[in-house]
Structure 1
Amino acid sequence: MGLRGPGAKPKGKRAAANDNRRETLPWEAEGLSRLERVIAFIEDMPVTQGKFAGTKMKLRDWQVDEFLAPIYAEDENGRRPVRTAALSMGRKNGKTGLSAALACCHIVGPEAEDRGEVYFCAMDKAQAAKAWAECKAMLEGHAELSERVNIIRFSKEIEVLDGQGKGSVLKALSADADSKLGLSPSFVLCDEIGYWPKRDLFDAMDSALGARDEPLIVAISTQAKDDTHFFSEMIDYGLKIRDGEIEDPSFHLAFFAAGPLDDPWDPATWHKANPALGDFLSMEQVERMAMQAQRIPSKEADFRNKLLNQRIDGTVRFIAAREWNDCNLGPIDDKALEGRECFGALDLSAARDLTCFLLVFPEEDGRFTVLPRFFLPEFDIEGKSDTDRVPYNVWARQPDARLTLLPGKVIDPALVAEYIADETARFDIRAIAYDRWRIEDLNRELDKLSVTLPLVPFGQGYKDMSPAVDVLEVTVAQQKLNHGGNPLMRMCASNAVVTQDPAGARKLDKSKASGRIDGIVALAMALKTAQAHEEEGLPACLLAA
């Protein structure tokens, strides 16, 4: 009693229909390695839709070699080191079938543990229901496994009644719901995580893995559209591991994508992001989509993101992501910059928004080193992260992000003034360009500290900002900038858009931007102030005045 529930099929009828049940299943054969058991299980699962429906799954070499083999490899103690795995490739490469088979493997197959908790997580309720339905169809189509599970449709759950994994449950959850707390997952599969609206569900699952002996969380998705999405951070982390920059045996990335310089219309490029192309992904379909993307500009970005697995959202930005990333010339040590000549800019925000104080340091080779500092109120930083859809709460814990959370619900200008005053003692700041808006509050606090700063007013209209926009654009294009990969600066760069007046003058426009651009506005002002000082050989404060 209690195991069945509304929507469950009568066991008797199902058992009578399965007269060809095997006593020993393929993955139960003796002498198999852990990986071989997983492969045997997946290849015994039925294909439930598409042109191969009615047959059993057949894993391709790339699925095994690039994805499964590294995940289920064991160390010298017979344990699986990998705890987090990501697979990213173009759409329609068999992600759904592989995802469902893996979830089944961890609830009722060789990777199952008694009273395990398996969660199939998707972007929204509809996608979660679709993913769950694929698991359900696979188990119902398997003669032996269908007898061991109880499928409860109304709550999207699957329970294991006996055998390996007895007492385990598989549930479908959606990322658009509230975070799930109090769970103890043994296996989590995140479907199309690159399109999740927020990271709460992933973080809740990831933080709950510690209660299990060998937990595993797997993310399978096409790339997110921008650098600030948390799945983009996962991919970047995995690429650093692959390139030997970081050593982390607990993380594995299998990545199939076209390169930034590849010809998007070349079939060889399509194959890079789509290992199943010409197999269970139709070449004819991809050719049709490519032809339309070539002829209809609005379709190109979608084709490159979903088919070529490139990180591109189709919005025309002021700074191309590739150009900005090329200006990450290595880590920045602020202690090594102490005493150096520099030029600053201050972009003050409304009481609750992002404030940026930024310094640029001229280098002998003509480049500039960028040292920003961002401020936000500490109150409800989680809500602020949700509203802006960027992980301020995570960045605040990362020293390299240079984000300071100030106590209270609003930004206290006194605290910002104290920080700037401290910086003037560390660096040789020749000028600090500022927007006149709200500067009176800061000046009042500076007077209290008896601090005099080389503050220089900098207009925000087309007349004053257009030369600054030009300098910023050229500096980035010529890679004469080192921002050190600061994530908030990257966010601001990806959001930045410019507007143009009838005379052709340009300015960075916060009202048109898709998100915060304070760091880029400050950078433009600082670079222009530094350039004016260099060109005229006069104090920047006199020039800007």
Structure 2
Amino acid sequence: MTPFEEYHTKIYDGTIVSCDKMKKVAEILLERFISPGEYHFDFELANKPIDFIENFCYVPAGDIGQKLKLELFQKARIQAIFGFVDDEGYRQINEVNIIEGRKNGKTTECAAIELYMLMGDGEGGAEIYNIATKLDQAKKGFNAAVNMRLQSKLLKKHTKKRAADIYFPATMSFIKAMASNTSSLDSLDAHCVIVDELAAIKNRDLYDLMKQSMGSRNQPLLFTISTNGFVRDSVFDAQYDYAARWLKGEINDQHFLPYIYELDTYEEWDNPDMWIKANPGLGTIKKIDYLEQMVQKAKDDQAFKPTVMVKDFNMKQTDESSWLRYEELNNEQVSSIKYDYCIGGFDAADTTDLNFAVALCQRPGDEQIQVRSMAWIPEKVIEEQQKSGNRVERDKVPYDLWKKQGYLRTCPGGKCDKRIFLNWFKELRDEEGLYVMFIGYDPWHIDDTLLREFETEFGKNCMIPVRQGAITLSQPMKDLKAELIEKNIVYQNNPILKWCLMNTSIKTDVNGNIQPVKKLDHTQRIDGTIALLCGYKVLQDNKDRYINMN
């Protein structure tokens, strides 16, 4: 029995404790193995990279001088990647997304695979890249390959270490580390791209450019391997979502293969029997006593817990300074319930910042509050980003994508006219029959002229100022947190509002009163949180009067 068969069968039948996503991966791969179609499993080609790695690659750090011995899970993955080919011998898989806990041998595996792609894959003029946002990160995997080469007489004999790469003269191929600020990213002809720690990639443009650079190769390989990260709505989250949809059968991409190792629920984090779900190398590569120490530290120090949840168990988290943990704020419910009346709220920006508005709806006897929302930024923000050529998007989030998805609108010029809020509430009323009774707003940003326009449209007493401070917002903020934890705030899985919630920290006064504040990073907007708080505060104060209208 091959490692491919053994490993995936043990996952499928429960012999190896695995998460639901890995069980689905095993099911799909075993079905391909048993019932081949356009692609079949070639035992010789599946074993070729394993033989190369275990014969010629050495441990890059720690037990220097020891040949690399692959674990069962690593052999099975490699056979799945390299073993399925068409009748001409070309590989089926050209994009791999592996997510696993830290200390499971990611960097070592990447280095071994890129050395095989350099020397054993038979590709002429192969360009192989380690990529990252910063060059120092990109060099980690590259340096591991350099260390492997130094320990192998055969690799040293047939390759050259030049100033910026490892060169293989026999096929005129090379391995090189590259970062997002490299000027020549658009002219590459990559055969293999290695991304060690995808969660550290700041923008998806880098990832997309490298994928497109492989278009002229017959059997390229984009190999990403990562733990989870604290940055949300990044390329990591996009690829994770792509993998999840692929596993559900919503995406038909026969050249893509994910391996997602994670806990199935947050409650499993202190159960040692479940730890292997996120750590396939536990007990062999990753020390059990090390993980025990990390979990115990997380129990003793709650500020450390998010790090363990993210890096050891691949569970999404916000950082320790956040108002809400990710599992508290995340709500993927989407509702199509129709309402007649709503409570509005908005947060206006004076310059190029994000503008945000919400409409809160609730019915008698229903604890859930349905939230409609819209965001705006000046058109100039996106135009300047595109003209600059800077591959890191403004605020490190995909504004352009959100615009295409309908979550965001742009305003002409370099500043948003605050009438966008008035027009949006009118749009809800005139096009959807959703009437706004009251609107909460920060009076600091709204002039008397606009107030009169709101009153003309929605009534003299519709506009309710919500002062931004601990005295006004402390209790509503505490109550809103409880509602979010109970999943009573159904914000239609809006990614911008979710991002704003993740970015929100709190400031506490001597009396224990709290108010929302931005984190130290100025790019982390909280405008959606402020708009939601304004609307929620008004809903609380006028609930009896409002709720009977629906």
TM-score of Structure 1 vs Structure 2, range by shorter chain? 0.7 to 0.9
What pairs with 1:140-539 in structure 2 (closer than 5 Å)? 140-152=150-162, 154-155=163-164, 157-162=165-170, 166-175=171-180, 180-325=185-330, 327-330=331-334, 332=335, 337=338, 340-363=340-363, 365-381=366-382, 382=385, 386=393, 388-399=395-406, 402-415=407-420, 417-426=422-431, 427-440=434-447, 443=450, 446=453, 451=457, 454-510=462-518, 515-536=524-545
Q: Secondary structure at the match of 2:324?
A: coil
CA deviations 1:50-107 (Å, max 9, x no partner) are 4654343332221233565157533678654434321122222111111011112222
Map of 2:146 onto structure 1: 136
Structure 1 or 2: more helix by fraction: 2
Q: How many angstroms does 1:373 deviate by?
A: 0.6
Q: Secondary structure at the match of 1:120?
A: strand
Matched residues in 2 for 1:358 and 1:67: separation? 48
1:48 is aligned to 2:55: no
Q: Secondary structure at the match of 2:277?
A: helix
Which amino acid in structure 2 is aligned with residue 131 of structure 1? G
Q: Secondary structure at the match of 2:84?
A: coil
Q: Cα distance 1:207–1:397, how it changes in 2: closer, same or farther (>3 A)? A: farther
Q: Cα distance 1:385–1:49, how it changes in 2: closer, same or farther (>3 A)? A: closer
Q: How many angstroms does 1:313 deviate by?
A: 4.8
TM-score normalised by length of structure 1: 0.80
CA deviations 1:205-254 (Å, max 9, x no partner) are 13433343333322111111243332133223323332445444343221
Map of 2:128 onto structure 1: 118
Which amino acid in structure 2 is aligned with residue 321 of structure 1? Y
Q: How many angstroms does 1:403 deviate by?
A: 1.0
Q: Cα distance 1:81–1:363, how it changes in 2: closer, same or farther (>3 A)? A: farther
* Contact 1:42–1:101 (CA under 8 A) maintained in structure 2: yes
Matched residues in 2 for 1:209 and 1:510: separation? 40
CA deviations 1:380-404 (Å, max 9, x no partner) are 43369645222223322323xx111
Map of 1:15 onto structure 2: none
What pairs with 1:80-95 in structure 2 (closer than 5 Å)? 80-95=91-106
Q: Secondary structure at the match of 2:484?
A: helix
How high is the sequence identity, in percent, across the aligned residues? Answer: 25
CA deviations 1:125-183 (Å, max 9, x no partner) are 3333332222233345444444443321x22x123322xxx232221113465682222
* Contact 1:375–1:403 (CA under 8 A) maintained in structure 2: yes
Which amino acid in structure 2 is aligned with residue 301 of structure 1? P
CA deviations 1:436-467 (Å, max 9, x no partner) are 122128718958x9855643322223333234
Matched residues in 2 for 1:50 and 1:285: separation? 18
* Contact 2:504–2:519 (CA under 8 A) maintained in structure 1: no
Which amino acid in structure 1 is aligned with residue 222 of structure 2? I
Q: Runs in 1 of length 4+ with deviation above 6 angstroms?
A: 511-514
Matched residues in 1 for 2:458 and 2:443: separation? 17
Q: How many angstroms does 1:509 deviate by?
A: 2.8
Map of 2:137 onto structure 1: 127
Q: Secondary structure at the match of 2:219?
A: coil
Matched residues in 1 for 2:66 and 2:483: separation? 58
The count of aligned residue pairs is 496
Q: Cα distance 1:76–1:217, how it changes in 2: closer, same or farther (>3 A)? A: same
Q: How many angstroms does 1:298 deviate by?
A: 4.4
* Contact 1:47–1:97 (CA under 8 A) maintained in structure 2: no
User: Unmatched 5+ residue regions in structure 1?
Assistant: 1-30, 541-545
Which amino acid in structure 2 is aligned with residue 104 of structure 1? L
* Contact 1:72–1:82 (CA under 8 A) maintained in structure 2: no
Q: Cα distance 1:35–1:361, how it changes in 2: closer, same or farther (>3 A)? A: farther
User: Unmatched 5+ residue regions in structure 2?
Assistant: 1-41
Q: How many angstroms does 1:496 deviate by?
A: 1.6
Q: Cα distance 1:58–1:537, how it changes in 2: closer, same or farther (>3 A)? A: closer
Which amino acid in structure 2 is aligned with residue 324 of structure 1? L
* Contact 1:414–1:442 (CA under 8 A) maintained in structure 2: no
Matched residues in 2 for 1:286 and 1:366: separation? 40
TM-score normalised by length of structure 2: 0.79
Matched residues in 1 for 2:70 and 2:519: separation? 50
Q: How many angstroms does 1:379 deviate by?
A: 2.1
Matched residues in 2 for 1:480 and 1:260: separation? 20
Matched residues in 2 for 1:441 and 1:80: separation? 67
Q: Cα distance 1:463–1:113, how it changes in 2: closer, same or farther (>3 A)? A: same
Q: Which moved more, 1:90-99 or 1:388-397?
A: 388-397
Matched residues in 2 for 1:134 and 1:358: separation? 50
Q: Secondary structure at the match of 1:206?
A: helix
Matched residues in 1 for 2:363 and 2:212: separation? 43
Q: How many angstroms does 1:322 deviate by?
A: 0.8
Q: Secondary structure at the match of 1:373?
A: strand
Which amino acid in structure 2 is aligned with residue 480 of structure 1? N
Q: Cα distance 1:345–1:416, how it changes in 2: closer, same or farther (>3 A)? A: closer
Q: Secondary structure at the match of 1:472?
A: helix
Q: CA RMSD in A?
A: 3.3
Matched residues in 1 for 2:521 and 2:430: separation? 35
Q: Cα distance 1:127–1:81, how it changes in 2: closer, same or farther (>3 A)? A: same
Which amino acid in structure 1 is aligned with residue 142 of structure 2? W
Q: Secondary structure at the match of 1:202?
A: helix
Q: How many angstroms does 1:423 deviate by?
A: 2.9
Q: Secondary structure at the match of 1:115?
A: coil
Which amino acid in structure 1 is aligned with residue 437 of structure 2? R
Map of 1:73 onto structure 2: 84
Q: Secondary structure at the match of 1:304?
A: helix
Q: How many angstroms does 1:347 deviate by?
A: 0.7
